[in-house]
Chains A and B, each alone.
Chain A
Amino acid sequence: MTVDLAAIRGRAWLFGSDISTDMLSPGQYVHHPMEERLKHVLESARPEFAGEVKPGDIVVAGPNFGCGSSRESAPQHLKDLGVAAVVADSLARIFSRNAIAIGLVAIACPTISEVVEDGDVVEVDVISGRVNIPARSVSLEADRIPEPMLDVLRHGGIEPLLISIAAEQRDE
């Protein structure tokens, strides 16, 4: 899978602060089939989200997105729903590591939640660390993701990256 990390473009779903891994991946559904689990993603914050989110949409949120536990299912569910990126004022550390590990773009962009309105088109350039909201003529600086983590994202996560590392091992 290849993603153009310099040109992610999608419609924003706006969320508040402290969106937790419990909201992203509610504990009471962990043993349910995946299809069922995905219906409950973020339902306690915005009940319509899981039903209406479209592939390529972008989740925009306030500070401390992804706080809570270390479950990898939290970013995985967003990826499975087709979310192209998470852009938040700040990201909980374990969530941001797990997001990259499973191949979901998650980037911190201070004040983003104050300038984006729900439904705005948001453009994310992960490579140069910029987030634009064209309709509002706003361009914000985002945290840069260091090169090896970008490499993981380019491959779509650690597992696909390992497949290409394995191919290099064979060629040696």
Chain B
Amino acid sequence: MYPQPTAAEEILARAAGKDRVSAGEYVVAQVDAMMMHDIFAADVLSMLERTGIKRLYDPDKVTVVFDHMVPPPSVSAAAHQAKARELVRHFGISAFFEIGRGICHQVMVEEGRVSPGQLVVATDSHTTTYGALGVASSGIGSSEMAYTLATGQLWFKVPESISIVLEGRFSYGVTAKDLILYLMKAVGSTEAQYRSVEFGGPGVGELDLADRMTVSNMGVEMGAKFAIFPAGFVQTNKEGANYAASHTVLLDSLAPQIAVPHHVENVVDVNEVVGTPLDQVFIGSCTNGRLEDLRQAASILRGRHIAKGVRLIVTPASAQVMEAAAREGIIEALTEAGAYVGGPGCGPCFGGHLGLLAPGERCLGTHNRNFRGRMGSADAEIYLGSPMTAAASALMGAIADPREVEGISAGRELAGVSASGSGGSGTGE
């Protein structure tokens, strides 16, 4: 008997038109959807124009989203986008989403551009996000994207798979972000390198779609090629399938997690860094800028005010998220608490604009990378945590444990402390 296929093997076999494929094998597969954002769209489409390619294999499978440098903060970004716009028209790509629609990965899901069992590529490393919907999706380079757009296919090495079994339930104040940060610590970024990570077990029911997107999004930080949850006909962690390794996580045992500078693997329980003074808090990105995230942040910030000396930047992941957050009064709660709420897009996540850090400053963000220089100065420090941790930390002006927030608030009132946090007011002054 052949072993059961892993989710990656099953999806790649279908896309390659084969009965079965196994880890290690190379296949040529039909790609179901392709996506480019404003950083690479002009380069890729220019290569097609330069080489004389007249038409794309299937323009309807292609999505272009402007989300990184939006609205364009420089003349060169504006020119780059103008070129991409012209080529998007030239090649007949109708699924083009202008600035303001949202972050590419969020838009792909909201617009139904991906569905379970598909094979999807994009010019962005966080393409693993669609694994939340049972999609095998990965980032590729510009040349490979040009080839895929022209031919509809691409070569893949079938990856080995790792099974992650989730058990139990999250306790209050602990979220999907804490789970994936914990996995960065427990599994690291070597074991999962180029492998497909599959999530399963009774605990997956604890994670809604937003949670799963958070986890799959950061799967790439573990080195993973795909990060797949069960969805539709796509099953994970199958009995009889070959897994290179397997891990079990008891959700109840998790505390809020923080990645400390300058690597996503440097993860500690929040209590180890509580009280670290902050200059900036950022809530947003394709990891944690969804309605659920803003709702959690607002649940902590509503009726309170962030500490003096700290700035809070919030960027909703999409226009839909922003509209829903406005309807629920979340935007108002956040601005009343002292937040700067920006438009939908990547925001300061990758250090393009909208919230760069000065030398010596310290930021806690809900995004996915804390490499040196990622958000501006190479002499700044970036910490990563959940939206609840970020909100609690903005209240304190220092890294805080969201499970303690009622206590913090009561303590501040008792001590007669008004808006200024007791954890220090930053290191940047």
A residues adjacent to B (C-beta < 8 A): 70, 72, 93-94, 97-98, 101-102, 145-149, 152, 157-159, 161-163, 165-167, 169-170
Give 18 A-B contacts (CB < 8 Å), ordered by A residue: A72-B143, A93-B157, A93-B194, A97-B141, A97-B144, A98-B141, A101-B141, A101-B147, A102-B143, A146-B155, A149-B26, A152-B147, A158-B144, A158-B147, A159-B50, A159-B51, A163-B52, A165-B151
When the two chains form their complex, are residues B141 and A72 in contact, meaning their CB atoms are under 8 A apart? yes
- Given A97-B140, A98-B143, A162-B48; 4 other pairs, CB 8 A cutoff: A146-B27, A146-B155, A147-B28, A169-B53
In whole angstroms, what is the CA distance A161 to B150 when docked? 11
Question: Known contacts A98-B141, A146-B28; is A166 also within 8 Å of B52 by CB?
Answer: yes
- Residues on B with C-beta less than 8 A from A98 are 141, 143
When the two chains form their complex, are residues A166 and B153 in contact, meaning their CB atoms are under 8 A apart? no
When the two chains form their complex, are residues B146 and A158 in contact, meaning their CB atoms are under 8 A apart? yes
- Residues on A with C-beta less than 8 A from B142 are 72
- Residues on B with C-beta less than 8 A from A159 are 47, 50-51, 143, 146
In whole angstroms, what is the CA distance A147 to B52 when docked? 24
- Residues on A with C-beta less than 8 A from B28 are 146-148
| Set A70, A146, A152, A162: member contacting B51, Cβ < 8 A | A162
Q: Which residue of B is nearest A152, CB measured? A: B147
Which label, helix, strand, loop or mixed, suits the secondary structure of the A interface? helix
When the two chains form their complex, are residues A162 and B150 in contact, meaning their CB atoms are under 8 A apart? yes
- Residues on A with C-beta less than 8 A from B247 are none
- Residues on B with C-beta less than 8 A from A158 are 143-144, 146-147
B residues adjacent to A (C-beta < 8 A): 26-28, 47-48, 50-55, 140-144, 146-147, 150-151, 153, 155, 157, 194
Determine how close the nearest CB of chain B comes to the CB of A7; give it in whole angstroms.
23
When the two chains form their complex, are residues A101 and B54 in contact, meaning their CB atoms are under 8 A apart? no
In whole angstroms, what is the CA distance A53 to B147 when docked? 32
Determine how close the nearest CB of chain B comes to the CB of A105; give it in whole angstroms.
15
Q: Which residue of A is nearest B27, CB measured? A: A146
- Residues on A with C-beta less than 8 A from B144 are 97, 101, 158
Determine how close the nearest CB of chain B comes to the CB of A171; give it in whole angstroms.
11
In whole angstroms, what is the CA distance A52 to B25 when docked? 37
- Residues on B with C-beta less than 8 A from A157 are 143
When the two chains form their complex, are residues B54 and A148 in contact, meaning their CB atoms are under 8 A apart? no
In whole angstroms, what is the CA distance A148 to B52 when docked? 20
Question: Known contacts A101-B141, A146-B26, A148-B28; is A161 also within 8 Å of B54 by CB?
Answer: no
- Residues on A with C-beta less than 8 A from B147 are 101, 152, 158, 161-162
When the two chains form their complex, are residues B54 and A169 in contact, meaning their CB atoms are under 8 A apart? yes
When the two chains form their complex, are residues B53 and A148 in contact, meaning their CB atoms are under 8 A apart? no
- Residues on B with C-beta less than 8 A from A97 are 140-141, 144
| Set A149, A162, A163, A167: member contacting B155, Cβ < 8 A | A149
| Set B26, B51, B54, B141: member contacting A163, Cβ < 8 A | B51
In whole angstroms, what is the CA distance A146 to B21 when docked? 14
In whole angstroms, what is the CA distance A2 to B24 when docked? 29
Residue from the set A93, A148, A161, A162 with the largest chain B CB neighbour count within 10 Å:
A162
- Residues on B with C-beta less than 8 A from A162 are 47-48, 51-53, 146-147, 150
In whole angstroms, what is the CA distance A147 to B144 when docked? 16
- Residues on A with C-beta less than 8 A from B48 are 162
Q: Which residue of A is nearest B48, CB measured? A: A162
In whole angstroms, what is the CA distance A167 to B54 when docked? 9
In whole angstroms, what is the CA distance A163 to B48 when docked? 9
When the two chains form their complex, are residues A148 and B141 in contact, meaning their CB atoms are under 8 A apart? no
- Residues on A with C-beta less than 8 A from B141 are 70, 72, 94, 97-98, 101
- Residues on B with C-beta less than 8 A from A148 are 28, 153, 155
Question: Known contacts A93-B157, A98-B141, A158-B144; is A165 also within 8 Å of B26 by CB?
Answer: no
Q: Which 7 A-B pairs have the closest CB atoms?
A: A166-B52, A162-B51, A101-B143, A146-B26, A158-B143, A163-B51, A169-B54
In whole angstroms, what is the CA distance A157 to B51 when docked? 12
When the two chains form their complex, are residues A167 and B52 in contact, meaning their CB atoms are under 8 A apart? yes
Determine how close the nearest CB of chain A comes to the CB of B139; give it in whole angstroms.
8
Determine how close the nearest CB of chain A comes to the CB of B28; give it in whole angstroms.
5
- Residues on B with C-beta less than 8 A from A163 are 51-52
- Residues on B with C-beta less than 8 A from A169 are 52-55
Determine how close the nearest CB of chain B comes to the CB of A99; give it in whole angstroms.
11
Determine how close the nearest CB of chain A comes to the CB of B13; give it in whole angstroms.
15
Q: Which residue of B is nearest A166, CB measured? A: B52
